[in-house]
Structure 1
Amino acid sequence: MEFKKFFLKANNELEGDSPMQRSRRITCPKCQKKLMVSKVRKNYFVCPECGNYFGVRSRRRALMLCDKRSFVELFADLESRNILGFPEYEDKLNAAMKKSREKEGVVCGEGTIGGIRVCIFAMDANFMMGSMGAVVGEKITRLFEYASEESLPVIGVTVSGGARMQEGMISLMQMSKVSAAVKRHSDKGNLYIVLLTNPTTGGVDASFAMQGDITLAEPGARVGFAGPRVIEKTLNQVLPGNFQRAERVLECGFIDEVVPREKQREVLQQILKVHSKKLLNA
């Protein structure tokens, strides 16, 4: 098994640790206010003016959730190729790698939260909208298998537009492949916590994103299978404004709690401590 030490990459306008990068200003897409990058980062990548949630890179998620310098990346050498010879897929993969500075749409690894060992995977919307291809499925499956061997809990941070059409049926097969690994992990009495972020849709929502023992979500995250435009055209009626939003999905019983970003690490630590005590008393 290949391990790679975790280093945060400066790969978007909110990343980077130099004084010049931190002093830059960006525009909030919701309220249109000019914001200091340093203030947005200090506020957990949430607009201090209107509360809009900025997207967070997969590696930054690891930094935010895990104890400092505890994260070690796994399976970093895996990357997609054009298995089916789909036209222009190589170009799309290269563009996604350049945009995200990642080899794939998910980062997997092991770290600690509150001193408790965990496995964690975080999907990245900057890599083809976090779409699920063969390598995404393989990396997450391997992570669950590793967690099963080590008797570790898994924390999954999901963001996805669904299956990757350029890989056809191979992409769709990842739904059952990962689901089987989740089941084996569960059968051994291990914990799986999911954190749904905006958006979590398609085949990811229809499989491992909704199979956690405990399901959390960020405020305002869109959670569902098909998009609202497709559903509106199918039903020929206008949907309510909160349709598929985390708060509404919580009301319907599919989510256990909507957790603000600044509270997520604390909530995860509490859940892990309770679970660890149960295991010790079993």
Structure 2
Amino acid sequence: MAERLSARAALALVTDESTFTELPAPSGEFPPDGPLGWQGYDASRARAAERTGEQESVVCGTGRVEGTRAVLIAFEFGFLGGSLGVRTGDRLEAAYAYAREHRLPVVPLVATGGSRMQEGMLALTQLQRVARQSALTREAGLAQIAVLRDPTTGGGWATLGAGADVTLALPGAQVGFAGSRVRPADAEPAAYTAEAQFAAGAVDAVVRPGELRGVLGRWLRLLTRPSGAPAPVPAPLGAPDPPATGWEAVSRARSPQRPRAAAYLDAYFTHRLPLSGDRCGGVDPGMLCGFGEREGRTIAYAAQDGTATRPAGYRTATRLIQLADRLGIPVLTLVDTPGAANDAEAERQGVGAAIADLFLTVAAARTPVTTLLIGEGGSGGALALAPPGNTWATPDSYFSVIAPELAAAILKRPATEIRPTAEQLRLRPQDLAELGVIREDR
């Protein structure tokens, strides 16, 4: 189990020294024992205040994280389990409004057991207030980066945590919608951890406490630098000359020695941070997504790594491009896949819908999307990442409506006709340029 930090300790962990300034708490009258007249509620609040030194379950303010100013919201679990009540909602709403007014990113440091029972449904409706504030902040083009502490459960997880643009978690933190006292008796505790949520694609990274300020600071810098200029096209890392034949193009693209996406990303970026998972229970290691720095600019990336892309991969790329579009950050996509995964499990996971969503996201993006074909470009599963009119190709790549072997099979041609079929498909980079599918200029 992770160490349970107080709100002030969590703030000290992530903010630069002496930079945190608490925002004034909204004022207002509160009826005796709260809106439900819950007997003993005032006494419970008084004991919580004496024990923690706080007047509510959240501490809100501004501070710098590795030099970047942000609005920080730190939950105090020692105050009635970090639960959300009406006064909590007042503070959260004021903090988000301040962030929008001053154009600052929002960093919730979450540690909560959920909504406050002593305030009944009025407490639960604070989740609607939080969701509204989060939506307004998204519309304003401001980043939200959540840090999950121990525990993060209930509505706090389902809004401030899972609803953030980027979600980081401390090792061993209890994370899940169901708190420990309301789960089924036979529930497996390991499923309700930061590590399990990372494996399921709901958390982007599990970060050790000593590294949290540095990682959070890098994320804040990356996500607060909009730019209208397109991402530069990466230089080819493999073969310098175009292939002589269609089959040579296919053979080059399939060669194990050809540079893959990770090599291109390492050469392109000074440093980068990954987004992980589709927020629907899936992770595809063959789709590398994240944000990186190049020549002082932030560029988002979604890169296929040579495998058949799973539905989770397409959904993660969609998530990445939508986030970059909201923040005004240009996108680089690298295409390299034999095609979309076509097994039964991929169909059950909605591969067609996942590809459709990615096509629509790329088509609707207002931020520029630059694409480089670096290997295989297998059918619609590859084309979904490529915007029309802004796609390039390396000399060791090909793009095709279908693989030559499958085309020959559909046409009932013998195996000896596979290579001529590759010629007919006109899939070489120079063919694609002549057809207007890719650009030649750089």
TM exceeding 0.5 = yes
Give the alignment partner of residue 21 of structure 2, picking from 61, 65, 72: 72
Instruction: After superposition, give the CA deviation of every residue in 1:240-260 in whole Å (9 maximum; x if it has no partner).
Output: 341211101111111011111
Which residue of structure 1 lines up, in the alignment, with residue 190 of structure 2?
A: 242
Following the alignment from structure 2 to structure 1, what is the Cα–Cα distance between the partners of residues 45 and 189? 34
Which residue of structure 2 lines up, in the alignment, with residue 18 of structure 1?
A: none
Following the alignment from structure 1 to structure 2, what is the Cα–Cα distance between the partners of residues 229 and 63? 30
Task: Determine whether 1:161 maps to 2:113.
Answer: yes
Give the alignment partner of residue 131 of structure 2, picking from 176, 179, 190: 179
The code of the aligned residue for 2:10 comes to R
**Cα pair distance change 1:122/1:229, threshold 3 Å:** closer
**Cα pair distance change 1:91/1:268, threshold 3 Å:** same
Which residue of structure 1 lines up, in the alignment, with residue 214 of structure 2?
A: 266
Which residue of structure 2 lines up, in the alignment, with residue 84 of structure 1?
A: 36
State the structure with bigger RCO (CA 8 A, min sep 6), 1 or 2: 1
Residue segments in structure 1 that go unaligned for 5+ positions in a row: 1-51
Instruction: After superposition, give the CA deviation of every residue in 1:178-211 in whole Å (9 maximum; x if it has no partner).
Output: 1100100011110000001111111212222211
Following the alignment from structure 2 to structure 1, what is the Cα–Cα distance between the partners of residues 167 and 196? 14
The code of the aligned residue for 1:55 comes to R
Instruction: Name the SS for the 2:111 alignment partner.
Output: strand
Following the alignment from structure 2 to structure 1, what is the Cα–Cα distance between the partners of residues 117 and 12? 31
Deviation of 1:93 after TM superposition, in Å, equals 0.6
Which residue of structure 1 lines up, in the alignment, with residue 304 of structure 2?
A: none
**Cα pair distance change 1:216/1:92, threshold 3 Å:** same
Deviation of 1:232 after TM superposition, in Å, equals 2.1
Note if contact 2:13-2:209 (Cα within 8 Å) is conserved in structure 1.
Answer: no
Instruction: After superposition, give the CA deviation of every residue in 1:65-119 in whole Å (9 maximum; x if it has no partner).
Output: 1111111100246588423211110110101101111111100001111221110
Task: Determine whether 1:206 maps to 2:158.
Answer: yes
**Cα pair distance change 1:140/1:214, threshold 3 Å:** same
Task: Determine whether 1:218 maps to 2:167.
Answer: no
Deviation of 1:141 after TM superposition, in Å, equals 1.2
Give the alignment partner of residue 8 of structure 2, picking from 59, 63, 70: 59
The code of the aligned residue for 2:142 comes to N
Q: TM-score, with normalisation over the residues of structure 1?
A: 0.76
Following the alignment from structure 1 to structure 2, what is the Cα–Cα distance between the partners of residues 120 and 249? 23
Which residue of structure 1 lines up, in the alignment, with residue 58 of structure 2?
A: 106
Note if contact 2:63-2:71 (Cα within 8 Å) is conserved in structure 1.
Answer: yes
Following the alignment from structure 2 to structure 1, what is the Cα–Cα distance between the partners of residues 43 and 96? 31
Give the alignment partner of residue 47 of structure 2, picking from 95, 99, 115: 95
The code of the aligned residue for 2:73 comes to F
The code of the aligned residue for 1:115 comes to G
The code of the aligned residue for 1:163 comes to S
Note if contact 2:170-2:194 (Cα within 8 Å) is conserved in structure 1.
Answer: yes
Residue segments in structure 2 that go unaligned for 5+ positions in a row: 230-327, 329-442
Instruction: Name the SS for the 1:231 alignment partner.
Output: coil
Following the alignment from structure 1 to structure 2, what is the Cα–Cα distance between the partners of residues 220 and 212? 20
Note if contact 2:73-2:92 (Cα within 8 Å) is conserved in structure 1.
Answer: yes
Q: TM-score, with normalisation over the residues of structure 2?
A: 0.49
Describe how 1:121-136 pairs up with structure 2 within 5 A. 121-136=73-88
Instruction: After superposition, give the CA deviation of every residue in 1:188-239 in whole Å (9 maximum; x if it has no partner).
Output: 1100000011111112122222110000111111111223553324xxxx33
The code of the aligned residue for 2:56 comes to E
Instruction: Name the SS for the 1:155 alignment partner.
Output: strand
The code of the aligned residue for 1:106 comes to V
Instruction: Name the SS for the 2:224 alignment partner.
Output: helix
Deviation of 1:269 after TM superposition, in Å, equals 0.9
The code of the aligned residue for 2:48 comes to A
Note if contact 1:195-1:215 (Cα within 8 Å) is conserved in structure 2.
Answer: yes
Give the alignment partner of residue 205 of structure 2, picking from 249, 257, 264: 257
Instruction: After superposition, give the CA deviation of every residue in 1:112-164 in whole Å (9 maximum; x if it has no partner).
Output: 11221110010001100101101111111111111011110000000111100
Give the alignment partner of residue 147 of structure 1, picking from 99, 103, 108: 99
The code of the aligned residue for 2:123 comes to S
Aligned length: 227
Following the alignment from structure 1 to structure 2, what is the Cα–Cα distance between the partners of residues 79 and 58? 23
Note if contact 2:72-2:108 (Cα within 8 Å) is conserved in structure 1.
Answer: yes
Instruction: Name the SS for the 1:111 alignment partner.
Output: strand
Following the alignment from structure 2 to structure 1, what is the Cα–Cα distance between the partners of residues 155 and 117? 11
Out of 176-185 and 197-206, give the one that drifted further: 197-206
Following the alignment from structure 1 to structure 2, what is the Cα–Cα distance between the partners of residues 83 and 241? 35
**Cα pair distance change 1:229/1:172, threshold 3 Å:** closer
Following the alignment from structure 2 to structure 1, what is the Cα–Cα distance between the partners of residues 200 and 88? 29
**Cα pair distance change 1:143/1:162, threshold 3 Å:** same
Note if contact 1:79-1:104 (Cα within 8 Å) is conserved in structure 2.
Answer: no
The code of the aligned residue for 2:19 comes to S
Q: How many percent of aligned residue pairs carry the same amino acid?
A: 33
